[in-house]
Structure formats: structure tokens, C-alpha cells
Chains A and B, each alone.
Chain A
Amino acid sequence: MAAVLESLLREEVSVAAAVRWIARSAQSSEAAALRSLRPLRKEFVPFLLNFLREQSSRVLPQGPPTPAKAPGSSAALPGRPGGPSRGGRGARSQLFPPAEPSSAAAAEAPPARRGGRRRGPGPGRERGGRGPGGLEEGVGGESPPWAAGRRRRSSGSPGSPGRARSDPPNLSNLEEFPPVGSLPPGPAGRTKPSRRINPTPVSEERSLSKPKTCFTSPPISCVPSSQPSVPDTSPWGHGLPPGCRSLQEEREMLRKERSKHLQQSPTPACPTSESGSPLPSRTGNLTAEAADPARVSSRQRLELIALIYSSCIAENLVPNLFLELFFILQLLTARRMVAAKDSDLEPTPGAPDSLESPLFQSVHDCVFFAVQVLEHQFQVLSYLDKGTLKLLAENERLLCFSPALQGRLKAAYEGSVAKVSLAMPPSAQAVSFQPETDNRANFSSDRAFHTFKKQRDVFFEVLREWEDRHEEPGWDFEKGLGSRIRAMMGQLSAACSHSHFVRLFQKQLLQMCQSPGGTGGTVLGEAPDVLNMLGADKLGRLRRLQERLVAPQSSGGPCPPPTFPGCQGFFRDFILSASSFQFNQHLMDSLSLKIRELNSLALPQPEPSDEDGESDVDWQGERRQFAVVLLSLRLLAKFLGFVAFLPYRGPEPPPTRELQDSILALRSQVPPALDVRALLQQGLRARRAVLTVPWLVEFLSLADHIVPLLDYYRSIFVVLLHLHRSLVLSKESEGEMCFLNKLLLLAVLGWLFQIPTVPEDLFFLEEGQLDAFEVDTVPSEHGLDGMPVVDQHLLYTCCPYIGELRKLLASWVSGSSGRSGGFVRKITPTTTTTGLGAQPPHTTQGLQAQLAQAFFHNQPPSLRRTVEFVAERIGSNCVKHIKATLVADLVHQAESLLREQLVMQGQDGGDPAQLLEILCSQLCPHGAQALTRGREFCQKKSPGAVRALLPEETPAAVLSSAENIAVGLATEKACAWLSANITALIRREVKAAVSRTLRAQGPEPAARGERRGCSRACEHHAPLPSHLISEIKVHSSPPPCDVLSLAVGPRDPEEGISLDHLEQLLGQLGQTLQCRQFLCPPAEQHLAKCSVDLASLLVADQIPVLGPPAPRGLERGQARRLLHLLLSLWKDGFQVPVPLQLLLSPRNVGLLADTRPREWDLLLFLLRELVEKGLMGRPEIEACLGSLRDAQWPKDFSEELATLFNLFLAEPPMPEPQLRACELVQTNRGTVLAQS
């Protein structure tokens, strides 16, 4: 590999030829110098990347050794892990050293580290390893030997003034100087997918050594004095890649070590403490060294390497474009060179073609190189968001090294409209209740319906509690909500209930989480997902750990692992806590269906190059719709991946080959949850990769370790790799994908290749495999790929990690140490949820449909949308219209038929089911009219709607065509539904009417409707019924007016009621009964009863009337007047039955028994009046009186009662009966009659 690089440096081979060689695109014109190196081709890029990372390790903060380790490390120099043998070209190829000696620190250090990739817990900083090259050097106390050597010798380069510093900052203290864009140290960091460029052969010795990242292998200038025990130390040096061991063996070693480590330290300690080095506190500001173009060493060499590096980037030969950009920006913003003390490392200007001397000898070199690369990458840069462009354009180093580039960036900044806003997402709303899907008719039983009612409430209760509490320290999802969730899930017995709940769950998920930041006000931060790495069994403990360690400002770095940020965390934890197989299955079904549906949604059609503003307005709508669909798909696919692979998720890949094989054999026969391969192929064919690939990536990102090894998924990865390679940004031609579309795909694919579960050798596949792949794309102009559907906003929404570039630049400006996050807010996308599914998939058929398609082809897309929208709505309204007219008429007919039937057959009317059948057989044939009426309706309504929605200048012919198509589509839709469903609809409605009618026949007379309402002129000023009941009964104000309680007692001697007040009260009662505005039947019934009680008290002279001198009984005339009032109220006021028979209840009549002397005439008067006014019939009263005699009374009372009875039986009523007890007893019937 180094040979290739050196041929380049010596200009034996042109850069272009080299890139062609690497990209295998021009086999015929292969440079002679490279031909012999052909087997090395696929190794070149990883070599180059690692080379650059290593070279930069002195510049980037993590390069310098840990001070405490310095002395030791110098002594240990010969045995430095991974130290390749010095000298000789072959030695350079040992940048991926196959073997490493165990170092002093080996015992305590996590050994399993290869290529910077780590899966198990350990103190190492996983993601730094894969991210910014060399960032991790020195972690865990390991320091690069070369650095140590230099330091020891204290002979720094002139360009490193910082070396004289008395108190050097402990740059390897990750707590204080975390790699830019990475997480704070701790287990959190572990979960980051680590970057590895290429499988690095590892020996057992190596595996025991310190963690080592591929980018941090010692540079070639370092001299390892002794080679480790593995004899074949330089497989690649001999030009044969898989020289020593199979990758499989290495993996197994890794696994062993990982599991060993897992056992040893289930709760990993902070890496810095494990390193054993005392950690000096942060030493103030870290001033940046000024970079000077004049002091750049070996320009030519840097230019050349920058060129070939840029070419590799441009050809997508690097796995992750943005990772490289991040690296370049790190170089640009390198603060200072670590003191170079090794004279070996002094610039050697005379040997530019040599790789012996370090590439970056000073900050000047770094900046020069970075600016060179940036110049080549200008196109990509110009598509970044405005903030990043501004920071780049304002970067003084960039200005200093390339004013031209700065000018271009400035222009790009000024021309850019791609501001990624920070607007807050809308607050979470609950899924609304939709009677069509949620009412009783959708459930199998009342019980299921009510259970779901409760579940909906529990679900939101849990969600609210989560919102309130998930950020509280010490709060644990499982502990706080787990049992409630499981109890709720336990009630979902019927499959139907599961599907209801899943629908609710999925809708709520889409509603809350469409944007990656989640919503609901609070965002969990991009907490690294420990759960992705470890099994669910360790869930609770790990989650607590995670909560303790995740710093709120942490962000994922340029390649964060898949996470469930914000509200997504709730849904993930809900699934985990519910741990319900049925739920998961239903959820997968539902997610798959929705994904298919959205993936095939008809999205904007291409528009002929119409450059006026209107089309742009339309495009905004198209883009927004695309964004909504894309984000929904990504979310759904992520959760589908999560649930689908959940049962297979484990902390690590299977430990042995045999085990893995058996798992593979087992898994390969399991059909995929969703046939994503077919969908991917369809998407590519239809040129909809820009829609399909991003969600597929989300799905795959949650796969377990075995998945990429399965044939099915492996073939998907091959396709994706090919796609990645084909997305060359600089290619712009007819039929090519739009630039931002490509950029989005590159970003998501690059991210996917970094996921821990994706095998590290996957990106650098055998070329044969790639060559064998043919993209079967039919160049179709109609594909989404060729349309500018992606904008910066969507790009940043889907790939928030691109924002790390801006953070890095901003941290340079702010002069901070590069701790990420904090001052630059995470991009919170604002995506409206409107419009989703607003465009229905059109159901056009036949020639007419083809004509319509052709018609739309040359019209603005808004026209099509309008017509489809109108057709959809009118069609839907048509069905409702038929329901409200034709069906309603039929129901009325059914009701009258039924009533006839009931009259004929007597009250019970026979079997309801039979009745229904009879009615339906008569009425359903009328349903045929629905189609005619439906056609009429669509014909009538559609044109107006289309006209109203289209711009006025639409040509008449276009307009009338649009109208006709709308009518046709609406009719088609409506008639299709009606012809299929009208009979069932009529049946259902008639059935409901029948049961309604039959119910109305029941014991309760349905007199309710008529009672309400008072005269039109009424102003509803009558006293409120509740007030009146209170007045009559007990409380309310002002006293004394609590008539009944006063009368019934106990009462104070001075308490009483004024006659005026009593009369007023009855007057008010009359008003209230007249104005029925506030009257409800129960209140009226009570009023009626109270009035009867009042009458009884009057009859028995029990009302204490206020008045001078003391409360006394009413005079008889007064009592009669009041009774008259009551009688007329009973007659005309009340509309409920008045319980008049209570007047003759033993209790009320008994009131008379207590009075002395007894006054019977009022009762007799009352009874006669009742008969007179028709309020009670004589027989009724006689029956009451008769039953009174059965009660037990004092003897004299019984006698008087009997007399009264006899008197009443004698007609007619007397106008002014003067009846006293004595008279009743002493006079005979004749006397009384004579008096009357």
C-alpha cells in the first residue's frame, strides 16, 4: 500500500490513474506501475485513511501521551503495542499490525480492540476510534511510542511552541478534552459504533494489549524494536492480504475477549481512572497556534495526497463522506502540534517523495492539507446549511490559506437559503377518537369496547407520567410504569383489541416522533443506546447506568449509533416493558402494512421545467409531503427493525464459528418480517431510492449481529454498497439523481456502514461481488430520484450528525476545547404533520384513466392534486349524502312499516330478527337508486369544487377536462363503495331503527321530547328549579324559607314562614313550570312531590306562619287560597305525573292525627277539588281512603276517618265546608250536608 502511495508521490503514477485503479473503473488503462499491485487495490483506501489518521494523531488533541505514562512508555517503547518494525517498505504496511506484544498495561486494559471497533463494555472510547482519527490515542494510558520518545528528548520542532509550556493540558484526559463531537467518556461512549476501516488481523497477543483503534496505529516512523511473537507479522507487506489468520479466527478471539471483559467488569469504570493516571485538572484555555501558509513543509507531497484523498472521497471509495469531512475540519481547526521531540520527525524537505517523514509536521501542514481537500470538496460544502457555511467562510485559517475558497464559500453562504431552523416542534397531542374506527360497532363485545376505553386512558396516563418524570434522576421506566403497562396489556385478550391498541400506538408514535428530536417539549438528548448493545435482560440496570452517565449536552458525534431520542424512547421502552408477544406481532404487522402503504404512495410527478414562481410554490408543498412521508417511513421502519430483531438481539455476536453457523442455518429459514429486498429492488427500479433507502437504512440499523451474515440481508447490503459507489456527486447529467438526494443517501448509507452490527469488512468487499451486481434501473424520468425532493432541512433532519461539522467549527470559534454540544444546539427540525396521506392513491382504470394521466402529464402537479382531492372528497361526501337522504328515507319507511306491524300484531310485535328480515327484504331493493343518485350528486358537486380550487387563469378547456375527470373519479369512488356496501348499510341502519323503535315501545313512555320549551317570548327569568326545591325543602337563603324542614321541625319557637313568602314561593313555582328552560324531569318530579307534601302540611295546619304575636297556624281561608294555587299548578303547571295519591298516604293523613282540634274540612275540600279539576278520579280516591282504614290509628281518629270517607262518598262538593272533628263525630251525615 505504501508502495502505491510512494509511486504517487514520486509521480510515477498520475493521481487520476491511481483513482481509476482504485475504483476499478478503467482496467484497461491501468498504470504499469500499479498493475503488479492489483491484489492490493481493495486495501488501498483503508490504508490511506489509516495513514492520514495516524499522521494527524499528533495534532489532534488525543495525540499526546498521558504525562504520567510518559516515562514508562518510553521504557516500554520496544514493546509498544502494534509497533511495526521500522524501515523497509513492507513495514509500512503494518499500519494494521497483525500482532502486538502485550504491554505492561495489558492486564488491566480491555484487550479486545481491533480497528477501533469495540462492542463490549470497556473503558475505551469506541467512537473516537472510528471517528476523528487518532483521537483516541493515549486512552487508557497508552501513548504512542513515537510521541513518548520525542517528549523524552525534548527536541520539539520549531513549529511547536506549545511544547515549552510548563503546564501542558492533559489532552488525553477525555473527561476534559473529549474528542470533538463525541460523547463524554464512560459506558455511554462505548455504545457508539466504532469506525474501522478494514479488518485488522489481530493476534492473541494483540488482543491482550491495550485497546487500539485502527486510526491510531503507530506511525511508520516509529521503531518497534522487537516484533511480537507472531511470526508472520506483515501479511500485507508481502502483498497478500489475508496472510496470517482468517478473519473469522480473529473475530472469535475478539469475542472471547469481549465476553471475558464483560464478565470482569459489568459496570465499567471510567476509562481515565482505569488508566491509572492522575488527572490534572483542566488547565485553562488552550490557545490555538497561528497557522502560516509560509511555513508549510513539503507542500507538493501534501497536495498530492490531498488530491488522491479527495479523489477517493469524490468516487465514494470512503465509507462515510461526512466522517472524512469531519476529519478534515478537525485538521483545519487543530489547535497546536504536540511537541515533537524526536529529531527523526524534523521536516525533511529534501525528501518529498518519502513516507519516512511525517506527513503533518506542524499545524501549518495540517491546515494546508485540510484547505486543499476542502477546495476539492467545495461542491459538497456549498450544500451544507447556512450556519456551517458561515463558520467556514469566517474561518481565518481558511482565509489565510485560500482566499479564493473563502470567497466561494462566502458567496455560497450569501446565496444559501438553507437555514435549518430551530423552531420548537408542536406539543404532543393525543390520537383523536374517531367514531368510524373507535365506536362500539368496531368491537366484538361491550367488554372489549370498555376495556379498550380504559386502555386508551391508561396509555395516555403512562405517557403523561413519562413526559413528566423521565428526566428526573433516578426515575426508571420499568420500575415506574412497567407493571401498569403489563397489567394493561394483560387485558388485551381478543385479537381485535390488539389491533385497536396497535393502531392507537402507531398513530401516536407517528404523531409524536416524526422528527428525530421527538417532541413533547423535552428531548432525551441523543442518549447512546446501551440497549442496542446489550440484551433486554440487563435492561433496568443498564438503563439506570445510562441515565447516570449521559450528559445532557451530549450528542452523537458524526456517527452516532441508532438511538431513540426524545419521545421515541417512550415507545421503545413501552415495547420492552410490555414484553408481549402478541403486541409485538400485531405491531409488526401494522408497521409493515403502513410502510408498504407509504412507500408506494404516489408522490409528486415530475414537472416540465417551468421556472416561474408558482411551480416553486407547488414544489414547497411537494417537498413537504415528501419529507413527511420519508420521516414517517423512517420512524416506522426503525420501530419495525427494533421489534423484528428484538428476539435476536444480544450483546455480541456468537462466540464460535460453529454456533454462528448453526444460528445462521436457523435464521436463514425465517422469512423476513417485511420483504425489504423486494421493496428495495422496486425502489431502485422505479428510481425511488431517495425514498426507499433512507427508511431501509433505519430498519437495518437495528439489525442484530447475525443479520448481515444472512444471505437475504447480505444481498441487500451488496445492493446498497453498489448504490453508494454509484452516487458520485460530481456527476450531473440528464437522468442523474439530484445532488441533495444523493447527499442524503450518501449520508445515511455512510452512517449505516458504521453501525456496530454491520460487519467491518463489509464496505471493502471483494470486488468481484460488487462487479457482479447490476443495477436494474430503467432510466425513467418519472422517478423521485431525479426530482429535487430533498432540501437541506430534510437532510439535516434525517442526518442530524451532519450538524457535528458545524459544532466543530463553532467550537473553534468559541475557543473551547472542542467539547461538543452545548453552545450549538442540536438541530430540531420542524416538520408539519399536515398533508400525510392527503393524496390518495388514485384508482384509475382503463383508457379513460390513461387519457387522464396524459392530461395531467403536462399540467402543474397542483392541478392533479386538486382534482384527486376533490374527487376523493366529493366521492366520500356522496356516500354520506346517500346515507343522509336515501338511507334515511328508507329508515323512516322502516319505522312506519314497523309501527304498522306492531299495531297489527299487538304490542310485542314478534321476533325482532324476523321483523328485521321482513323490513330488509322490502327496503333493500331500493338501494339500487343509490348509484343513480350518487352519480347525480358527483355530477352536481364536483365541478364547482374544482373551479373554486384552481387558479382563475386556468384555460377553459383545461378546466372543463379537470372538472370532468373529477366527476368521473368521484363517481367511480362513490359508486364502487355504494354498489359494494349499500345493502349492508341499509340493513345496519334499519336494524338500529328497529331496535330503537322496539325500545321506545317499552315501559318508559318517550314523552321527553315534547316537554321541553316555553313560549317564544319567554326570557327564562323564572327561578331555577334547584333554587325552588331548596326553598321548599331545606337550605338556601335567606331564611326563613325552608318550608318543609321548618314545618317538619324541629324548629326554634320564633321560627316561621310568612304567608307572603309562601304565596310568593308558589307563584315562583308557577313561573318555573311555565318557563321550562332549566327544568329537567327529576327536578320537576321532586317539585311535584314537594308540592304534595306542602299541601298535606297545609291540610294538617302544620305550617307555622310568622306573625304578630307569635307563629301560629294558618287561617282557613288562607290555607284554602294556597291550596287553590297548588291545585292549579297541579292541573296546568306540571307535566310530570304529580303523586297526588300521597295526599292520602297514611303518613300525610297521620299529620292530622296530631292536631287538636282536628280540621277535616280542608282535606275534604282538597279531595273534592281534586275530583272537580279532574286531577284524581273518584274511584282512585276511594281506593286510597279504603286503604287508609287498614292502617293502625287511634280509635277516635279511625272513626273520624270513616266519617270523612262517608262524607266524601256523598256528593256533591260543598263550596264552603265548615267541618270540624266534633261535627264529624257528633252530627250525622244529613246535618253536614244541610250545612253545606
Chain B
Amino acid sequence: MILTKAQYDEIAQCLVSVPPTRQSLRKLKQTFPSQSQATLLSIFSQEYQKHIKRTHAKHHTSEAIETYYQRYLNGVGRNGTAPVLLELANEVDYAPSLMARIILERFLQEHEETPPSKSVINSMLRDPSQIPDGVLANQVYQCIVNDCCYGPLVDCIKHAIGHEHEVLLRDLLLEKNLSFLDEDQLRAKGYDKTPDFILQVPVAVEGHIIHWIESKASFGDECSHHAYLHDQFWSYWNRFGPGLVIYWYGFIQELDCNRERGILLKACFPTDIVTLCHSIA
């Protein structure tokens, strides 16, 4: 699903300050029925993350934390089974999982002698049954399962999606008889930067030479694409020459501007592949 910048902006406009709940998602799907759901979800997630990055700091001032914690305590004091934490997060426009983390951290500070380590907190978020307070455990759990942009479950889903698409790409390469080295093989050889696949014999896609392929199971928006260019794609180019990036959930058309320079964007596995002919004409 390749969107023009204008189309993308229209979608992004609808996502301003929408909480990351399944209800919001449902609404978005109704608004843009023609777009694929995976694309919408990916854009939604990215936009929400941008929003959170912008507002992150204000939720982490000590005053804010204190306010949230008191509200939480008051809320569960009134009714421990009510979705206190989730509603608090939605009310202050912050990701429920992150809100859960704030409260959990604050809670542990109060109840333990030593300040909790990051790994302890992460572990408790992954498995709320480790949280010493049963009520808080339920609250946290509720936040995590209701957050569609952050949290250990979402991370896992993203990871799984990424992995699945890599597997998919590998199968397609095998099907096309294109021999390649995958990330693990490259790492074993000591490469310092490793795209998902390096083709052992380069091919041409739409007239452009391709030495490597990177699979991205997300939508390519400006922000993420530029970060990827800087951290990954150009680094690959610097070592292996021109290559192909597949944004399985689409990308903004205007970003595909480095074709001549050696970075080609596609939203699917290319069909127009020209391989080197071994027979001499």
C-alpha cells in the first residue's frame, strides 16, 4: 500500500490524540475502509508513538508522577476492581502500559528499600503476577492488554510480525532461486552491518541493481524511514552497494527518491527481477 504524502497526511490528521485502544482502531478502520488494516494499524502505532515521544517528558515530572500515584491510590481505594489505571491513562492521554510502568515504579519505590532496577520492572510488566500487590497486578495487567501500541505484548507482536516477514521473504528468495546470505550468516562472517539478506549474485529490480534486501514489517513514514536510512540503509549501501527495502505495510511514495542513489523501496516482493545470465550469447 503506497500512499502519497497527501493521503498519508489525511490519515495522520485523524489520529491526533486518539487513545491506543481497540475502540479507536475500530473507528479508524471505518473512516478509511479502502486502506488495508495492517497499514492503518502500523500508521496508527507510529503516529501514537510520535505523540508519546512528544509528550513523554511531561508525564515524567515528579509532580505528575505524584499526582498520578495519588489518583491511583484513591481510585483503587474506592474500588479495586474498577479500571482505575487504564482510565487514568486515557484521561491524561498517555499510553496505558507506560502509565502502568510509572505507577509500578512509584509503588515499588514506596514499598521496597532499594529503588527497583529496570529489569525487575520489565519482568513485572511481562508477568504482572510477580507484582507483590494483587490489586496493582490486576490494574497493570489490564493496562497492558488494553494497550495496542506499547507494552511487552505489543513488542512481542511487532517482533513476531518482523520475523514472519523475514521468513516470508526468505521463502520467496528460495522460490526464485536467488542465493543469499542471511543475517546470521553475515554476522558469523564478521560483517559489522547486516541487512536481512545479501544476494550472492546481484539482480536488477526495475532496472536498478540490488545487492541486498531489507524487510520492514511496518509502514514507511518519513520519521522512521529517515532513521532507517541513517542507521541501516545507507550503512548497507556503504558496504554492499545499492539495495532494496520492502516496507510490507506500504510507505509514502515521495520517500522513494533514492532509487538512482541506490536505495529502492517496494511494498511487496518485486515481480520484475532480472538475473545475471550465465550463458554467453
Residues of A within 8 A of B (CB): 427, 429-430, 432-433, 435, 438-441, 449-450, 452-453, 456-457, 459-461, 464, 1024-1026, 1029-1030, 1033-1035, 1037, 1039, 1042, 1044-1045, 1048-1050, 1077-1078, 1080, 1082-1083, 1085-1086, 1089-1090, 1139, 1142, 1145-1148, 1150, 1154, 1191-1192
Residues on the B chain within 8 Å of A1039, using CB: 22, 26
Question: Nearest Cβ distance between residue B129 and chain A, in whole angstroms?
Answer: 3
Interface flag for B86 (CB, 8 Å): yes
**CB–CB A1033/B153 < 8 A:** yes
Q: How far, in angstroms, from A1035 to B151 measured CA to CA in the complex?
A: 13
Do the beta carbons of B83 and A1050 come within 8 Å of each other?
yes
Complex Cα distance, B160 from A1077, in Å, reads 12
Q: Evaluate contact between B192 and A1029: CB separation under 8 angstroms.
A: no
B128 within 8 A of A: yes
Would A1034 and B234 be within 8 Å (CB), given that A432-B240, A449-B192, A453-B192 are in contact? Answer: no
B159 to chain A: which residues have CB within 8 Å? 1080, 1082-1083
Residue of B86, B191, B230, B260 ringed by the most chain A CB atoms within 10 A: B191
**Is B193 in contact with A1145, judged by CB distance below 8 angstroms?**
no
Measured in the bound complex, the distance between the Cα atoms of B26 and A1045 in whole Å is 15
Binary contact track B150-161/A, C-beta < 8 Å → 1, others 0? 001100111111
In the bound complex, what is the Cα–Cα distance between A1148 and B137 (angstroms)? 10
In addition to A459-B238, A464-B261, A1078-B163, 16 A-B residue pairs with Cβ atoms within 8 Å of each other are: A429-B241, A430-B238, A430-B239, A433-B191, A433-B239, A457-B235, A1033-B153, A1078-B164, A1078-B168, A1080-B160, A1082-B160, A1086-B160, A1147-B131, A1147-B134, A1147-B138, A1150-B138
- In the complex, the answer to whether A1050 meets B86 with C-beta atoms within 8 Å is yes
Q: Given contacts A1050-B83, A1148-B129, is CB(A1034)–CB(B153) below 8 Å?
A: yes
> CA A1229 – CA B86 in complex, angstroms?
42
Residues of B with C-beta under 8 A to A461: 230, 234
Interface secondary structure of A, over-half rule: helix
Instruction: Considering the complex, give the chain B residue whose CB is closest to the CB of A458.
Output: B238
In the bound assembly, the distance between CA atoms of A1026 and B241 in angstroms comes to: 33
B148 within 8 A of A: yes
Query: Could you tell me the distance between the alpha carbons of A1083 and B141 in the complex, rounded to whole angstroms?
Result: 18
Chain A, Cβ-Cβ closest to B192: A453
Q: Is the Cβ of B160 less than 8 Å from the Cβ of A1033?
A: no
Q: Mark B161-176 against chain A: 1 for CB-CB distance below 8 A, else 0.
A: 1011001100000000
B25, B129, B167, most chain A CB atoms within 10 A: B129
Residues of chain A within 8 A of B134, CB atoms compared: 1146-1147, 1150, 1191-1192
CA distance A1024 to B194 in the complex (A): 25
Q: Please tell me if the beta carbons of B190 and A441 are within 8 angstroms of each other in the complex.
A: yes
> In the complex, A1049→B86 CA distance in Å?
10
Q: Is B76 an interface residue (CB 8 A)?
A: no
Contacts A1035-B22, A1050-B83 given; indicate if A460 touches B145 (C-beta within 8 A): no
Give the residues in chain A near B234, CB-CB below 8 Å: 457, 460-461, 464
Complex: A805 Cα to B260 Cα, angstroms: 36
- Tell me, in angstroms, the Cα distance from A457 to B167 when the chains sit together: 28
Bound-state CA distance A1139–B127 (Å) is 10
- In the bound complex, do residue B141 and residue A1034 qualify as a contact, i.e. CB atoms below 8 Å apart? no
Residues of B within 8 A of A (CB): 22, 25-26, 29, 37, 41, 81, 83, 86-87, 127-129, 131, 134, 137-138, 141-142, 145-148, 152-153, 156-161, 163-164, 167-168, 189-193, 230, 234-235, 237-241, 260-261
A928 to chain B, nearest CB (A): 28
* Total of A-B residue pairs, C-beta within 8 Å: 137
CB distance from B18 to the nearest CB of A (A): 13
Known contacts: A430-B237, A464-B261, A1147-B137. The answer to whether A1029 contacts B127 by CB under 8 A is no
CA of A1148 to CA of B81 in the docked complex: distance in angstroms?
Answer: 14
Contact B192 A1045 (CB under 8 A): no
In this complex, what residue of B is CB-closest to A1192? B134
Partner of B240, one of A433, A1042, A1150: A433
Q: Is the CB of A1037 within 8 A of B29?
A: yes
Contact status A1026-B142, CB under 8 Å: no
B240–A439 CB distance below 8 A:
no
Given contacts A457-B234, A464-B261, contact A1048 B41 (CB under 8 A): no
* Contact among A439, A460, A1026, A1033 with B191 in the assembled complex (CB-CB below 8 Å): A439
Also in contact, A435 and B190, with CB within 8 A (given A460-B234, A1154-B81)? yes
Q: List 5 A-B contacts (CB under 8 A).
A: A427-B260, A440-B190, A457-B234, A460-B234, A1082-B160
Instruction: Kindly list chain B residues whose C-beta atoms are within 8 Å of the C-beta of A1090.
Output: 153
B239 pairs with A1029, CB closer than 8 A: no
Which residues of chain B have C-beta atoms less than 8 A from A1024's C-beta?
Answer: 160-161, 164
Q: Which residue of A lies closest to B25 (CB)?
A: A1035
A1026-B164, A1034-B22, A1147-B134 as given contacts; A1086 in contact with B191, CB under 8 Å: no
Question: What is the distance, in angstroms, from B162's C-beta to the closest C-beta of chain A?
Answer: 9
Cross-interface CB contact of A1030 among B157, B167, B168, B191, cutoff 8 Å? B157
Question: Which of A452, A1026, A1030, A1049 has the most B CB atoms < 10 Å from its CB?
Answer: A1026
Docked Cα-Cα span, A564 to B189, in Å, equals: 38
B156 touches A1083 (CB 8 A): yes
CA distance A453 to B191 in the complex (A): 10
Contact A430 B241 (CB under 8 A): yes
Whole-angstrom distance between the Cβ of B174 and the nearest chain A Cβ: 12
Give the residue of B145, B163, B189 whose beta carbon is less than 8 angstroms from that of A439. Answer: B189
Contacts of B157 in A (CB 8 A): 1026, 1029-1030, 1033
- The 5 A-B pairs of least Cβ separation, nearest first, read A439-B190, A1145-B129, A433-B239, A1083-B160, A1026-B160
Name the residue among A433, A461, A464, A1085 with the largest chain B CB count within 10 angstroms. Answer: A433
Residue from B81, B158, B190, B261 whose CB has the most chain A CB atoms within 10 Å? B190
Q: A430-B241, A1026-B161 are known contacts. Are A1035 and B148 too (CB-CB below 8 A)?
A: yes
Question: In whole angstroms, how far apart are the Cα atoms of A759 and B163 in the complex?
Answer: 69
The complex places the Cα of A1145 from the Cα of B130 at a distance, in Å, of 8
Q: How far is the CA of A427 from the CA of B148 in the complex (A)?
A: 45
B193 x A453 contact (CB < 8 A) = yes
Q: Once the chains bind, are A439 and B141 in contact (CB under 8 Å)?
A: no
Contact between A1045 and B239, CB atoms less than 8 A apart = no
Chain A residues with Cβ below 8 Å from B164 are 1024-1026, 1078
* Nearest B-chain residue to A1193, judged by Cβ: B134
Q: Hey, which chain B residues are within 8 Å of A1083, CB to CB?
A: 156, 159-160, 163
Whether B129 and A1048, one on each chain, are in contact in the complex, defined by CB atoms closer than 8 angstroms, is no
Which residues of B sit under 8 angstroms from A1089, Cβ to Cβ?
127
Query: Once the chains bind, are A1142 and B261 in contact (CB under 8 Å)?
Result: no
Residues of B within 8 A of A432 (CB): 239-241
CB–CB A457/B238 < 8 A: yes
In the complex, which residues of chain B have a beta carbon less than 8 angstroms from the beta carbon of A464?
A: 234, 261
Question: Smallest CB-CB separation from A1037: which chain B residue?
Answer: B37
